[in-house]
Amino acid sequence: MNSNKRHKKIGLSGHGDCRVVFCPDCGTLEIHFGASTIRTNSESLHVLSSVLNHAKVQLAQMQNASPAIDNTQQIRSGRVH
Ligand SMILES: [Zn+2]
């Protein structure tokens, strides 16, 4: 706890259980996600960010690939006009 006094951490971003904290004193980035904390640096943050974005795109493509037909059928039968 005493090391936290010297290092002034700045919150960069946060949403729900996920937030990113930066310490300018030592250049450490902390990614808090639920109960987990990942200590990393800015370079790894860029890698992680692009990997997550890529995963998001891939997942969206997978989810849009097959259930698209079912969705249109549901809309057609559900809406009268
Ligand atoms: Zn620090």
- 34 inside domain: yes
For the residues 49-62, what does the mean pLDDT come to? Answer: 96
Q: How many distinct structural domains can be found in the chain?
A: 1
Q: What is the pTM of this model?
A: 0.63
Centroid of ligand 1 to alpha carbon of 25 (angstroms): 5
What does the pLDDT average to over 43-68?
90
Instruction: Output the CA 24–ligand 1 centroid distance in Å.
Output: 7
Residue 56 in tokens? 């998001």
Q: Is residue 80 part of a domain?
A: no
In the numeric block, which tokens belong to residue 63? 């989810």
- What local confidence, expressed as pLDDT, does residue 69 receive? 58
The percent of the chain in helix, strand and coil, each rounded to the nearest 5, is: 50, 30, 25
Range of the domain at 54: 3-75
pLDDT digits (tens, 9 = 90+) for 11-55: 999 999 999 999 999 999 999 999 999 999 989 999 999 999 999
Per-residue confidence (pLDDT) for residue 74, from 0 to 100: 59
69 assigned to some structural domain: yes
Average pLDDT over residues 61-68: 80
